[in-house]
Each structure stands twice: as structure tokens, then as C-alpha cells.
């Protein structure tokens, strides 16, 4: 197919096939933060819908490769019709140190936010904390995005930059902490600062309550023990004194599936949903069943839980039965 230019009709060069290492975008925006990134991008660049559409086509075809996110800068290469791939750079304005401090202090005041972040999740209203600090995690205007491409297209963004934006959105779905990286802080830097700020919050609360923090030398723990004695043959496995009563409770975690999310998806995982989304309900159900067995509670069907098999478990069950009888 020929095309017309100011210099007459010409036949465009055939496009090179996507490289084997190309990143084929399946579906960007499967998480709320990934969707928020795509929406922010399309809102900021809403005047270039045609280029964005061509960028999505390039992203799905796997023409973007060598994607690197480091220190607020995104670099990538996009294979087009030329022999040499085009070089892409996307930069977001890094947040200042005072802005980061305000945001971290705000996050530290919310236990739910801290728990979700430490579990590898991105709290859905996290940007409200950054807005209160006078900034935002997501781009709000064109000035927040600085892009460049080695292609001859004068448009901003060109389709190569747009393709990189969409591939980056899918990368954010897998790793929400890239948002922090884009704003100038690594995951470890944010979590370390959050832990330090949470410690400060705890000390402040203790001082307000008129409590002093006990040192390790002053702290004592009363642990029930069983006295040792002579052991006769055939009686080594029998307790010589009544076992101490164990009192324990199970607190429901603030966020479920934390370990699964920290482990992430295996290399061969191809599902749209993450392993945590698939397995977390099963793990949660198994944990609840284990808790009912340990506490000798009836199941949802009204049947008694199976008795624990260990000696200590039977003792715990008897103690629980006595407490129910006393009530």
C-alpha cells in the first residue's frame, strides 16, 4: 500500500516483527491503582486519543521491551518499522523530601494503611493522604509528565511513548510500589520510613497516657513450668504434674492473604487474577477451620469440631468444656 506525502507517493517500509523479549500487554488496569494510572494518563493526554489507541495496539503486540523503572524515570525501547528500536524516556516529577515526610507521617497515623502496605497492598484511599500533604501519587497535568522518544513523530505522546505508558500500567498492577519509585522513593525506603514513623507514633501515645517504655532488663515474663524429676521406665511420656492451663486467643488479621501477596506470582503464572486473589479465600477458610478445632467450637453446620489429637490439645478442650459448664 502506497502513501502520499509532500514529496509524492511512497511505499512505507514493512514493520519489523515484535522482538522475542517484547512485553505483550494482556490487560492493564486490573487493580485499582493500575486503573487509576491509566485513567490519569488518558485524562492528562485526552487530546491525543488516536495516538493512545495506536499505543495500545503496539503494547498488545509486544513491541515494547527493556522496560526499566528507576529513580522517577522510566526507560524502554519500542520496535517499529526501522531497524533500530526507538528509545523512550518518561519522567515524573519527584516529590520533595518535606512532601514525603508529611505523607509518611499521615500514613503512619492509619494502622490499616500501614498493615496493607507492609503486606504488599496499596490502600485504595492512599492518595488522599498525599493530597493532604499537598501532592499526588498520580499525574494530574501534563507538566507532571516529561516524555521523549527518538522517533521522528513530533507528537507528545507519540504511539511509542503511549505503548510504554500502557505496558507500565500493567507493570503497576503486578507491583504497586512502582508508584513510589516513580515519585522518587524505593519500596524499602518507604517501608523503613513508615516503620520508623509508626514507632514514633507509639511512643507519643505512650507518653500521652503517662506510661514510660520499659527496658528489656525491667521486663519479666511469667512462664508456667513443670518441675523435672526422676523418670521411670515406661513412664517417660506421662506428666508427673498436671499440665499448666494454657490461655490463648486468635485475633483476625487486619488484612488477609498478606504472605501470598508478598510472595507474588510465580514465573509461569498466566491467570488474570493474582495467586493471592485465587488462594486467599481457601487459606482463610482453612485458618478458620483450624481455629474452630483448636478452640473446640462447633462448625457452621452446628456439629462439634473434631477433637484435637495431641495431649495438650485434649487438655485445652477439657478446660474449654469446664469454662462452658461454669457459665
Q: What is the pLDDT of residue 77?
A: 92
> Total structural domains in the chain?
2
What domain range includes position 108?
Answer: 9-194
- Is 150 a domain residue? yes
- Is 215 a domain residue? no
Q: Let me know whether 289 and 160 are in one domain.
A: no
What letter would DSSP give residue 85?
P
The residue out of 194, 222, 237 marking a domain boundary is 194
- Confidence label for 299 from pLDDT (cuts 50, 70 and 90): low
Cell numbers at 22, concatenated:
517484547
Q: Is the peptide bond before 157 cis (omega within 30 degrees of 0)?
A: yes
- Is 210 a domain residue? no
- Is 253 a domain residue? no
Q: Let me know whether 188 and 301 are in one domain.
A: no
- Is 13 a domain residue? yes
Say what the pTM is. Answer: 0.58
Is 291 or 268 the better-scoring residue by pLDDT? 291
Q: Let me know whether 271 and 143 are in one domain.
A: no
- Position of cell 453446620? 301
- Is 236 a domain residue? no
Is 256 or 205 the better-scoring residue by pLDDT? 256
The residue out of 164, 194, 224 marking a domain boundary is 194
Given a cut of 90, whether residue 273 has pLDDT beyond it is no
> Cα–Cα distance between 243 and 247 in angstroms, integer?
12
Q: Let me know whether 137 and 269 are in one domain.
A: no
The strand ranges marked E within 254-298 are: none
Q: Let me know whether 278 and 186 are in one domain.
A: no
Q: Let me know whether 82 and 160 are in one domain.
A: yes
Mean pLDDT of 303-310: 46
Cα atoms in the 13 Å half-sphere on the side-chain side of 154: 0
Could you read off the pLDDT of 97-147 as tens digits, one per residue? 999 999 999 988 888 888 888 777 788 888 899 999 899 888 888 788 888
The residue out of 194, 215, 249 marking a domain boundary is 194
DSSP per residue over 243-259, as a string? PPPP----PPPSSSSHH
Cell numbers at 39, concatenated:
485513567
- Is 54 a domain residue? yes
Q: Let me know whether 67 and 190 are in one domain.
A: yes
- Is 76 a domain residue? yes
Q: Let me know whether 146 and 269 are in one domain.
A: no
Which of 157-161, 206-210, 284-288 bottoms out in mean pLDDT, i.e. has the lowest?
206-210
Q: Let me know whether 63 and 176 are in one domain.
A: yes
Contact 159, 51 (CB under 8 A): yes
Amino acid at each position: 500500500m502506497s502513501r502520499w506525502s509532500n514529496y509524492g507517493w511512497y511505499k512505507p517500509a514493512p514493520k519489523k516483527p515484535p522482538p522475542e523479549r517484547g512485553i505483550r500487554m494482556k490487560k492493564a488496569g486490573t487493580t485499582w491503582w493500575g486503573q487509576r494510572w491509566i485513567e490519569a494518563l488518558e485524562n492528562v493526554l485526552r487530546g491525543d486519543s488516536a495516538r493512545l489507541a495506536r499505543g495500545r495496539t503496539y503494547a498488545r503486540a509486544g513491541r515494547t521491551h527493556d522496560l526499566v523503572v528507576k529513580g522517577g524515570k522510566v526507560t524502554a525501547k519500542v520496535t517499529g518499522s526501522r531497524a533500530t528500536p526507538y528509545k523512550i524516556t518518561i519522567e515524573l516529577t519527584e516529590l520533595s523530601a518535606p512532601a514525603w515526610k508529611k505523607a509518611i507521617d499521615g500514613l503512619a497515623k492509619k494502622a490499616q494503611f500501614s498493615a496493607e502496605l507492609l503486606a504488599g497492598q496499596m490502600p485504595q484511599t492512599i492518595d488522599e493522604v498525599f493530597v493532604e500533604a499537598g501532592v499526588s501519587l498520580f499525574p494530574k497535568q501534563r507538566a507532571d509528565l516529561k516524555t521523549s522518544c527518538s522517533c521522528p513523530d513530533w507528537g507528545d505522546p507519540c504511539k511509542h511513548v503511549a505503548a510504554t505508558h500502557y505496558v507500565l500500567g500493567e507493570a503497576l498492577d503486578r507491583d504497586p510500589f512502582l508508584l513510589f519509585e516513580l515519585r522518587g522513593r524505593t519500596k524499602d525506603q518507604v517501608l523503613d520510613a513508615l516503620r520508623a514513623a509508626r514507632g514514633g507514633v507509639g511512643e507519643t501515645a505512650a507518653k500521652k497516657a503517662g506510661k514510660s517504655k520499659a527496658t528489656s532488663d525491667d521486663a519479666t515474663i511469667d512462664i508456667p513450668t513443670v518441675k523435672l524429676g526422676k523418670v521411670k521406665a515406661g513412664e517417660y511420656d506421662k506428666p508427673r504434674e498436671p499440665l499448666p492451663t494454657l490461655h490463648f486467643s486468635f485475633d483476625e488479621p487486619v488484612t488477609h492473604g498478606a504472605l501470598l501477596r508478598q510472595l507474588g506470582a510465580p514465573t509461569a503464572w498466566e491467570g488474570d487474577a493474582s495467586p493471592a486473589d485465587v488462594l486467599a479465600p481457601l487459606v482463610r477458610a482453612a485458618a478458620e477451620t483450624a481455629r474452630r478445632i483448636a478452640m473446640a467450637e462447633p462448625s457452621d453446620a452446628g456439629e462439634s469440631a473434631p477433637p484435637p489429637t495431641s495431649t495438650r490439645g485434649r487438655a485445652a478442650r477439657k478446660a474449654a468444656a469446664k469454662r462452658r459448664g461454669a457459665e
